[in-house]
Amino acid sequence: MLAALIFVLVAGGLLAWSAERWHRNLPRWIALVTAVIELKLAAWFWLQHKDAMDTVIVSAPGTWLAETMVAWIPRFGISFHLAMDGLSLLLVMLTAFLGLVSVACSWTEIRERTGFFYFNLLWTLAGAVGVFLALDLFLFFFFWELMLVPMYFMIAIWGHENRRYASIKFFIFTQGSGLLMLLAILALVFAHYRSSGILTFDYFDLMNTILAPSTAFWIMLGFFIPFAVKLPVVPFHTWLPDAHTEAPTAGSVILAGVMLKTGAYGLLRFVVPLFPEAALQFAPMAMALGAAGVLYGAFLAFAQTDLKRLIAYTSISHLGFVVLGVFAWNSWSLSGAVMQMIAHGISTGGLFVIAGLLQERTHTRDMDRLGGLWSITPRLAAMGLFFAIAALGLPGMGNFVGEFLILLGSYRISIGLTVAATLGFVGSVVYALALVQKTFHGENTHGWRLPDLSVREMTTLCAMAAVTVWLGLYPQPVLDAAAPALNGLRDIAAGQYQGDAE
């Protein structure tokens, strides 16, 4: 059943590609249907396992809601091992939802090679879903790399002016750092092989690898850096503003909403549970980087005049909170990190959709050339205001819950860094309001005459707004879904400590 989540997207992509020859509008319908099926499947899993999630099971394998395991490359002990817990489920739901959004927002934007576009879109989603479900390290890496290629094509073919540079930079950063992860995986596997004589890439087997502290630290770093590039953590972030700015709307939505989350997911699922001690040792450094990201992203954001670049920098700021939360590693901060991942995916996705709609209408992203749009496109402007406010973390929206929980959790670990990160809120208010101010308020000095939102666009944005409000006002279902999985991860890590202490 779990494999279906991936294969629906893979098959839909192939179908959409081949459908182009019959009619040029057919691919988008196929993509839409595929995304709806994917969302329904994910929702089915949610409902199916809601009862199971209510009862908190502590033992590690017990928190898994579903599992599939088939031998794949027996020579290396590699299997096609997928499993889903609450954390994966939430992220798969997010992926499916944003997939639907991105199909909807490409509806009229993409006019050329529609078949190949939707193929790439769906395959990127398939790769991301694979990443969220894979529990074999080789399989994980396989999906991790796989989602890059279609994303590369999306940027390189349908992107904006500077697409070639941005796409190659994106690919080299992520793929190059991916190789580092492959080395780290192999180092871990062979360390396990030397101590146990079994060659395996399975997550559960490798969890019990006994490593010398220095080895563990290096291998942990080998995992951390690729995830940090993807997330992105500050010194590794330079690909992100370019890629997000040049990508087509759907590409930006998926990049910000889904792909960045694979990095955060990797930290949660692999870095800390596999190397609890090394991660603990590294935590102050990582938290400092997270807090630096929060401030740096916020400060750079309000210096931008390019709308999409501004939004890209806000992502850096928001995901700095996630790093802070993950490495604080207590139940508040972890729940907050998960919440932040989901809320950020939707609010930033919403902002990118709005930027895309503006670009489609005005053919510019330069905020100095916009302004005064409120009078001619009130619905678009209102939606813009809504998502800007969501991004700045107003209470009642999902982002607030996430950031609040993260700060609550990290306060117990490091007061200084928490205070520093809190200063990021000031920055976020400035950039969010600057965005609204420059784009929508003021006089319409440039004489724009634009159509307001269509029904399709309005529906998309309203759905996203509704989810944001729901996350803000009633976050408990999400927290409940994530809690057993997070507790499981914490127990695994804690078990390691005890195991070593004995």
Site for other proteins in 293-312 (CB under 8 A): none
- Minimum CB distance to other proteins smaller for 187 or for 469: 187
Establish if 148 lies at the interface with other proteins (CB under 8 A): yes
Establish if 196 lies at the interface with other proteins (CB under 8 A): no
Distances in whole angstroms, Cα of residue 438 to Cα of each of 160, 247, 249, 390, 450? 22, 23, 21, 18, 17
- Fill in the per-residue mask, 174 to 193: x = in contact with other proteins (CB under 8 A), - = not in contact: -xx--xx-xx--xx-xx--x
Establish if 376 lies at the interface with other proteins (CB under 8 A): no
CB of 275 to other proteins, least distance (A): 17
424 contacts 366 by C-beta, under 8 angstroms: no
Establish if 73 lies at the interface with other proteins (CB under 8 A): yes
Q: Which of 142, 204, 299, 470 binds other proteins (CB under 8 A)?
A: 142
CB of 267 to other proteins, least distance (A): 21
Q: Which of 56, 246, 46, 255 is nearest to 164 (CA)?
A: 246
Establish if 72 lies at the interface with other proteins (CB under 8 A): yes
CB of 191 to other proteins, least distance (A): 10
Establish if 76 lies at the interface with other proteins (CB under 8 A): yes
Establish if 113 lies at the interface with other proteins (CB under 8 A): yes
Cβ neighbourhood burial of 94 (10 Å; 0-12, 13-18, 19+):
buried
Establish if 152 lies at the interface with other proteins (CB under 8 A): yes
CB of 393 to other proteins, least distance (A): 37
Q: Which of 51, 55, 112, 455 binds other proteins (CB under 8 A)?
A: 112
Establish if 281 lies at the interface with other proteins (CB under 8 A): no
Q: Which of 96, 86, 93, 65 is nearest to 1 (CA)?
A: 65
Q: Which of these segments, 51-59, 153-161, 267-275, 456-464, binds other proteins (CB under 8 A)? A: 153-161
Q: Which of 239, 251, 207, 203 is nearest to 353 (CA)?
A: 251
Alpha helices in 267-377 (DSSP H): 272-274, 276-301, 307-328, 331-362
Tokens 């817990």 belong to 85
Q: Which of 3, 149, 434, 469 binds other proteins (CB under 8 A)?
A: 149
* Whole-number Å distance between alpha carbons of 147 and 131: 9
Size, binding site for other proteins by CB under 8 A? 35
**Residue 38, phi then psi, degrees to nearest 5:** -60, -45
| 470 residue type, one letter | W
* Whole-number Å distance between alpha carbons of 249 and 352: 6
Distances in whole angstroms, Cα of residue 196 to Cα of each of 75, 94, 187, 306, 333? 16, 38, 14, 55, 35
- Minimum CB distance to other proteins smaller for 3 or for 182: 182
The angle subtended at Cα 119 by Cα 117 and Cα 125, nearest 5°, is 105
Establish if 60 lies at the interface with other proteins (CB under 8 A): no
Site for other proteins in 429-458 (CB under 8 A): none
Q: Which residues pair with 78 in a beta bridge?
A: 73
Establish if 172 lies at the interface with other proteins (CB under 8 A): yes
Q: Using the Cα atoms of residue 60, residue 62, residue 66 and residue 70 in order, give the sign of their dihedral.
A: positive
Pair of tokens at residue 472 = 């803000």
What does the longest C-alpha to C-alpha distance in the chain come to? 74
Q: Which of 79, 167, 209, 439 binds other proteins (CB under 8 A)?
A: 167
CB of 128 to other proteins, least distance (A): 14
474 contacts 115 by C-beta, under 8 angstroms: no
Q: Which of these segments, 36-44, 145-153, 250-258, 475-483, binds other proteins (CB under 8 A)? A: 145-153
CB atoms within 10 A of CB 454: 13
CB of 155 to other proteins, least distance (A): 10
Establish if 225 lies at the interface with other proteins (CB under 8 A): no
DSSP designation for 412: T
Establish if 138 lies at the interface with other proteins (CB under 8 A): yes
Kindly list the residues in this chain that would bind other proteins in the complex (CB under 8 A): 72-76, 112-113, 138, 141-143, 145-146, 148-149, 152-153, 156-157, 164, 167-168, 171-172, 175-176, 179-180, 182-183, 186-187, 189-190, 193
